[in-house]
Amino acid sequence: MSVAAGRRYGPAPLPAVRGPVSAALLTALSGTPGELPAGLGAEFGAVAAPLTDEDLQLTLFLCYELHYRGWSGVDEAWEWEPSLLALRARAEQPFEAALRQLAGPAPAVLPAALPAALADVVTADGGPPLAATLQRRADLDQFREFVTHRSIYHLREADPHSWALPRLGGPAKAALVEIQTDEYGNGRLDRMHAELFRTTMDRLGLDTGYAAHLDRVPAVTLATNNLMSLFGLHRRLRGALLGHLAAYEMTSSLPNRRYGNGLRRLGFDAVATRFYDEHVEADAVHEQIAAHDMCGGLVRAEPALASDVLFGAAAALAVDGLFAAHLLTAWSAGRSSLRPPHHALAAA
């Protein structure tokens, strides 16, 4: 379905609240930039499961999006409001701690051994079989749910990792530019991966507006996106950001082949599957560039960042594993993996 130009690329309208902190932040963002309530978000320090806490993850997403497309009707001066940055930090601290606990300790490796260590991280990943399920058994409604979840990232695909570009130099930067150039369609709008994904959404009958499905996706989906923003917006985590991208590139070809085959099984044509088919070929090439030239180049220049690279890769795979488990658990129980529509939540 078509969408108005203003909705196609953002900024998106503000979403619905998911708890007291996001409620206070949303109220503030609707007004003139100024001091947020003192200590707002301090309660996040006591959250038992930060990766799946709806209030925490939405709060982070609200803060981070100010650095991307912004929010419709929200004053852009909020982006650097000190009290908002303080709130973001209060949410980031338990989020990062949970990521490090989930990923586990990264081994110390020499620069020359980093590509092999990344391969070991990928090989050791035993995430739930989401791609196989989508290829062989998922029905159309389930595939549409999967695409709905992924739209939060894919409609701005590559943007979080581009935060690394001004923070790198030399071989690592050149390798990242090579990967990102492909992601952005070599300067052709119709070949940008975000646009290819929008076409897939359109063929599936989904609203293709930027962040149109934000209210429907749960905290674990927001966490897969907030993870990239956390790494991308902190220079100290530039190694983790490259490790995250490397993990994505090194684990992408086979799942995307399965996604494309799943859509073909459901009767969709090459236009609908082009996004996935494009990644099968492109990411097979990107895998080597990411591991050897990008991450390898980084740690040859900055050996101390090797453990950060491995942390970023492990965190990417672990959080995606939580996401996959959420979908498969919901489908096995015969229910939707999405949150109810906002009007249903309001009536509950």
**In the chain, where the domains are located:** 8-101, 107-347
* pLDDT exceeds cutoff 70 at 5: no
Q: What is the mean pLDDT of residues 105-115?
A: 94
Assign domain 107-347 to a CATH class: mainly alpha
3 state SS for 313-328? HHHHHHHHHHHHHHHH
Provide the pLDDT for residue 247. Answer: 97
DSSP string, 271-338: HHHHHHHHHHHHHHHHHHIIIIIIIHHHHHH-GGGHHHHHHHHHHHHHHHHHHHHHHHHHHHTTS-SS
Q: Given this model, what pLDDT does residue 6 score?
A: 62
- Whether the per-residue pLDDT at 289 is higher than 50: the answer is yes
- What is the greatest pairwise CA distance in the chain? 58
* Residues 145-198 pLDDT 10s: 999 999 999 999 999 999 999 999 999 999 999 999 999 999 999 999 999 999
Average pLDDT, the chain: 95
The average pLDDT across 311-340 equals 98
pTM of the model: 0.96
Q: Give the count of alpha carbons within 13 A of 309, CB side only.
A: 31
Nearest to 95 by CA among 142, 146, 54, 51: 51
CA distances 315 to 126, 163, 201, 322, Å, are 13, 18, 27, 11
Q: Does pLDDT of 4 surpass 70?
A: no
